[in-house]
Amino acid sequence: MSVSPPTLSALCVVHNGEADLPECLASVAFADEIVVVLDRCTDRSKAIAEAAGAKIIEGAWPIEGPRRNTGLAACTCDYTLEIDADERVPSELAQEIRAALAQRPQGGVFIPFDNRIGGKPIRHGWGAYNGVGGKRCLFPSHTKSWGDERLHPPVKQLPEVAKLQAHMIHHVYRDLPHMYARLLRYAQLAGEDMVDRDAIPRPTKTIRRFFSRFWKSYVSRQGRKEGFYGVAMALYSALYPALSHLMALEIRARRRG
């Protein structure tokens, strides 16, 4: 008696992603189901998702975790691949994903990332809030959940059981203005989380982190090999804790009136 191959849902959560969504959804057309969560979209994201034959969920979620959990709950296949609008699954990765699912993994599958700025692959300097080497973004459905923090919410999921070789393409930033606009937005969210948890750090800790984060990105992670992008990424890493701290102080003062 033959056993049916496992099925795959591709989940994309997006806010006004019309620039990225067409290529993203086209890259996961091999999936058995595409689920798109539209968070307060005012652009053509819905029409693009409809054209891709996606299951669409619309709503407004001020916090990332509940938004992603809504999408995860809507996936109906055996496995789920979480993909952001600025990510792409090249054909070699799609083939490797199908081969991995044929083994019916009982935990998370790690997919390495090919991070890019302005379309250029950047190999060094990532980390400290502005890029990851990869994620366990392929997993048995309904085994992952996101927490309630505004930024970088904690994730509960099964342990890693496999690691793929092909890379997910991740267009992290279009250019430097895009990079630093995101830095300001993330620092604002992190500041709000600090105030909510009454966890504003001591100034001396923030100052130490400014220098240690720059060193880690530019020297330890060899960002110096990436030219001016390496400098920009190291500054991003250094400024993030400092700006988050300052934002938290302003938010706390404003709330106290």
Q: Over the stretch 162-178, which tens digit does the pLDDT of each residue have?
A: 999 999 999 999 999 99
**d(C-alpha 85, C-alpha 68), whole Å:** 13
**d(C-alpha 16, C-alpha 93), whole Å:** 26
pLDDT of residue 151: 82
**Residue 4 — pLDDT band, cuts 50, 70, 90?**
confident
Residue range 242-248: mean pLDDT, rounded: 97
- Show me where the domains of the chain are located: 8-173, 176-256
What are the φ and ψ backbone dihedral angles of 102, each rounded to 5 degrees?
A: -60, -20
- Share of residues in the chain with pLDDT > 70 (%): 99
Is the per-residue pLDDT at 209 higher than 60? yes
**d(C-alpha 218, C-alpha 206), whole Å:** 18
Residue 248: count other Cβ atoms within 10 Å of its Cβ: 24
Give the residue from 244, 243, 242, 223 showing the smallest Cα distance to 234.
223
pLDDT of residue 2: 61
Q: What is the mean pLDDT of the chain?
A: 95
H-run or E-run covering 29: none
- Assigned CATH topology for domain 8-173: Spore Coat Polysaccharide Biosynthesis Protein SpsA; Chain A (3.90.550)
- pTM comes to 0.91
pLDDT of residue 128: 58
Size (the chain), residues = 257
Give the residue from 116, 121, 124 showing the smallest Cα distance to 221.
124
Longest distance between any two alpha carbons in the chain, whole Å: 70
Distance of alpha carbon 213 from the chain centroid: 20
